[in-house]
Amino acid sequence: MRDVPGGSIIGTIPIGRKVSGNLFENMVKTTYNGKTGYVYAALLQKNPVK
């Protein structure tokens, strides 16, 4: 997870953890473990909310 798209790494999200967020181009803005940052969308599995 990065502080801004293309910015410094501020944390990691373990494989299998569920996160939600908003898509901005190729990045998803999300909050995990109290930190808000950006993750490359290609690294996440898509499961739309029903």
3-state secondary structure the chain: CECCCCCCECCCCCCCCCCCEEEECCEEEEEECCEEEEEEHHHCCCCCCC
pLDDT band at 30 (very low <50, low <70, confident <90, very high): very high
Q: What percent of the chain has pLDDT over 70?
A: 94
Token pair for residue 12?
């990691």
Token pair for residue 38?
């950006």
Mean pLDDT of the chain: 92
pLDDT band at 45 (very low <50, low <70, confident <90, very high): confident
Distance from C-alpha of 31 to C-alpha of 47, rounded to nearest angstrom: 17
Predicted local confidence at residue 49, as pLDDT: 61
When pLDDT is averaged across residues 12-36 and rounded to a whole number, the result is 93
